[in-house]
Amino acid sequence: MQNPVDIVLEKSGIRELNPVQKLALENGLLDKKAFVVSAPTASGKTLIAEIAMLKTVLEERKKAVYIVPLRALANEKYEEFKEKYGSFGIKIGISIGDYDQTDPWLANYDIIVVTSEKLDSLLRHGITWAHRIGLIIADEVHLIDSPERGPTLEVVLTRFKKSYNPKILALSATINNYKELAEWLDAEAVESDYRPVKLYRGVCLGNMVSFYPERFVKLDSDEPVKALVEDTLKKGKQVLFFISTRRNAESLAEKLGNVVREHVRKEKKELEKTGKQVLQALEKPTRQCEKLFHCICNGTAFHHAGLINEQRKIVESAFKDGKIKVIVATPTLAAGINLPAWRVVIRDTKRFGGFGMDYIPVLEIHQMMGRAGRPKYDKEGEAILIAKTEKEAEFLWENYIEGEPERVSSKLGVEPVLRTHVLALIASETIRTKQELMEFFSETFYAYQFRNLAELERTIGKVIELLKGFGFVKGETGEFVSAGSLGNSELVATKTGKRVSELYIDPLTANTLIKRMKRIEEEGSNDIGILYSVSNTIEMFPLLPVRKSDIEKINELLNKYEDFLPEKPPNPWDIEYEDYLKGIKTAFLFKEWIEEASEEEILERFGVTPGELRTRLMNIDWLLYSGYELGLLLNLRKTIREMKKIRIRVKYGVKEELLPLVRLRGIGRVRARMLYNNGITSIEKLRKIPLESLEKLTGKALAKQIKEQVE
């Protein structure tokens, strides 16, 4: 059999391993039980993982699981692995979707790409093939530092380390304390600053850019943003801007269109074609779509979470093909996909955080800078920070060019994170006593870094009491918080507790939701009551902000609907009051959606972007499903019947009367309404209407498709 290194080289069309890859192999990549690689973006870490995976699959006949932080990245890796190794008889699978599915078919796959949340949810349900995993790869492991994503990755790694003992390969960006991570994992570690493309990092002040390694560039004007674009285009290259807010990203992309336009005259037709794809991605183009269309026609684009996935993909691929010359992105792009450009310009080094405007962490800025230089096309790349004053230029230089990235640290120790994971550990019977719970947490990165477990023990104590209070966990109460030591009493999840954990919602949300649903069951409600019960939850955060101009409208709605809401309004001076109003506003967004307000109206009225609307619709779908499942368990029959109906209405964005029609392929909310208004109100009527008449309404192709479905 060919050895894994040869296969990887051959399938990647690469002649020899690069220095990082050699370093990893020389230091025992294939022999050590755990291994950490800390190296810059684009230094070829994925290839290291591929070598290790092939060894596991082909020689050890075990599975390899590849964990990534984002769904978009999972797709990218999955496609890449399938293309390279699928023909080699290796079965590549991906599992990123529905958190209440165990995807049993995964048992037949050799390489499985997952997000950490999905892997966590698989573990909560119990998977039969966990012991057949020979290798776990944690890509972008430095994200263990992220308050949102880090704890899940940390818990998943700890669970595998403790229960199944596979090999672990952790891949990290350049971080200061990779050795600490390695010690936690009991791993061999290698570090390298190798880059396939030489990176010049610089600070721009006025018309002068100073770089490290040393070089200077003088721009034609002291409007740096414009001058940098002009200079890039003159060189026939592309530039990627990072800007802190969506709105500013959009306006800069628009403004730069004036600079880029004359350079893309020849590609005008192509660009218009791409622009039209962006317009067609939604039911009806919104103002944001039109803005993006105009930008693309001029050879620029903005890229942020307000776009829907299809649009982002269109923009990314047009940039990769060299059609779009300038992308102005918010920093989410840096963590997301692989989109290099010859030049990267970071205009905003500050952003709004918990304590006002803060400088962005060095690690994140380095990730953005790391996007400079396209490995296959450029010999070098440039990353430039823009300073407004001399003093700031000095600071940027010291902090971001010469400075080291921060240490990554565990974010596991806080109550909201712990209540979810403690319940999951108890529910999946990974641990059975408080003692075991503490033993588990003593093996986390948190425990490794902070050593002192007393504080953690106290928080866990509080969390257990909370979960008992919710009725999600059974066991002895009391003794442990005050005594400060964990007894050996048995901890068991109740049926509801187990289901909450499987549904992957915060126990606090589950408890609130159950309370609201019980009230609805007793007192009755309507669609707005049900929508509110899932809208004002942590999973829906941030709730829609309530502006002064909204107050009158909300009061009007409250007067009309208050009796249907499953919660009395808190006193206006209580801290919950603000969330209550926001929750109502958020519920009304969904209400308008199922009352068939157009997407454009909703975006306008509630000040959301298309991307945000999609995300919210996905979240509410999950919460309605979870509510339904919990209600089923608790026998809240009337409520779940309504909930089910509303979930389908939310899925299609329609009134109840359109449900039969929208279930057909090719009919969305707009067409269903048009048919209904033309008297075609049921499947029966669709069956009866002559093909020719239907064609007049829907066009030939669709009429045929509809008829095929109903006859």
Distance between first and last Cα of the chain: 55
Task: Kindly report the number of other CB atoms within 10 A of residue 390's CB atom.
Answer: 10
Of 5, 29, 34, 47, the residue at the interface with ligand ADP (CB under 6 A) is 47
Of 38, 43, 232, 698, the residue at the interface with ligand ADP (CB under 6 A) is 43
- Could you write out the DSSP letters of every residue in 212-263? ETTEEEE-SSS-HHHHHHHHHHHTT--EEEE-SSHHHHHHHHHHHHHHHGGG
Site for ligand ADP in 3-22 (CB under 6 A): 12, 14, 17-18, 21
What are the distances in angstroms from CA 322 to CA 171, 340, 493, 667?
30, 11, 55, 36
Smaller CB separation from ligand ADP, 116 or 410: 116
Cβ at position 650, least distance to ligand ADP in Å = 38
38 touches ligand ADP (CB under 6 A): no
Site for ligand ADP in 352-391 (CB under 6 A): 375
Smaller CB separation from ligand ADP, 24 or 292: 24
By CB neighbour count within 10 A (0-12 exposed, 13-18 middle, 19+ buried), where does 376 fall? exposed
Cβ at position 191, least distance to ligand ADP in Å = 13
Smaller CB separation from ligand ADP, 46 or 496: 46
Q: Determine the 3-state secondary structure of 28 from DSSP.
A: coil
Would you give the distance in Å from CA 380 to the centre of its chain?
31
Smaller CB separation from ligand ADP, 43 or 533: 43
Residue 392 has which token pair? 């700031």
Smaller CB separation from ligand ADP, 375 or 570: 375
Task: Specify whether the CB–CB gap between 326 and 343 falls below 8 A.
Answer: no
Cβ at position 195, least distance to ligand ADP in Å = 9
Rounded to 10 degrees, the C-alpha dihedral 474/478/480/484 comes to 150
52 touches ligand ADP (CB under 6 A): no
Smaller CB separation from ligand ADP, 76 or 100: 76
What is the x/- site pattern for ligand ADP, positions 545-584, by CB under 6 A? ----------------------------------------
Compute the distance between CA of residue 258 and CA of residue 386 in angstroms, rounded to an integer. Answer: 21
Strand partners, 220: none
Compute the distance between CA of residue 536 and CA of residue 620 in angstroms, rounded to an integer. Answer: 10
Radius of gyration of the chain (CA): 27
Rounded to 10 degrees, the C-alpha dihedral 102/108/111/117 comes to 0
Options 35-43, 159-167, 223-231, 677-685: segment touching ligand ADP (CB under 6 A): 35-43
Residues 6+ apart with CB under 8 A from 699: none
Q: Determine the 3-state secondary structure of 669 from DSSP.
A: helix
Nearest residue to 503 via CA among 615, 411, 619, 611: 619
Burial 516-549 (b: 16+ CB within 10 A, else e): bbebbbeeebebbbbbbbbbbbebbeebbebeee
Cβ at position 157, least distance to ligand ADP in Å = 19
Amino acid at 500: V
Cβ at position 173, least distance to ligand ADP in Å = 8
Options 40-48, 92-100, 226-234, 620-628: segment touching ligand ADP (CB under 6 A): 40-48
Cβ at position 19, least distance to ligand ADP in Å = 9
Compute the distance between CA of residue 108 and CA of residue 98 in angstroms, rounded to an integer. Answer: 19
Amino acid at 126: G
Smaller CB separation from ligand ADP, 17 or 292: 17
Of 7, 24, 42, 297, the residue at the interface with ligand ADP (CB under 6 A) is 42
Options 36-44, 110-118, 423-431, 494-502: segment touching ligand ADP (CB under 6 A): 36-44
41 touches ligand ADP (CB under 6 A): yes
Compute the distance between CA of residue 457 and CA of residue 465 in angstroms, rounded to an integer. Answer: 12
Smaller CB separation from ligand ADP, 18 or 435: 18
Cβ at position 42, least distance to ligand ADP in Å = 4
Cβ at position 433, least distance to ligand ADP in Å = 41
Of 38, 46, 410, 536, the residue at the interface with ligand ADP (CB under 6 A) is 46
What is the x/- site pattern for ligand ADP, positions 420-449, by CB under 6 A? ------------------------------
Compute the C-alpha angle 18/19/22, nearest 5°: 85
Cβ at position 22, least distance to ligand ADP in Å = 9
Tokens 């909201």 identify what position?
Answer: 416
Smaller CB separation from ligand ADP, 44 or 627: 44
Options 42-50, 421-429, 513-521, 567-575: segment touching ligand ADP (CB under 6 A): 42-50
What is the x/- site pattern for ligand ADP, positions 172-211, by CB under 6 A? ------------------------x---------------
Of 45, 55, 63, 419, the residue at the interface with ligand ADP (CB under 6 A) is 45
- Total of chain residues touching ligand ADP, rule CB under 6 A: 14
Cβ at position 30, least distance to ligand ADP in Å = 17
Report the DSSP pairing between strands 350-353 and 63-68.
unpaired
Of 34, 35, 36, 44, the residue at the interface with ligand ADP (CB under 6 A) is 44
**DSSP, res 474:** E
Nearest residue to 206 via CA among 399, 347, 386: 386
Cβ at position 44, least distance to ligand ADP in Å = 3
Options 44-52, 104-112, 290-298, 433-441: segment touching ligand ADP (CB under 6 A): 44-52
Smaller CB separation from ligand ADP, 12 or 332: 12
By CB under 6 A, name the binding residues for ligand ADP. Answer: 12, 14, 17-18, 21, 41-47, 196, 375
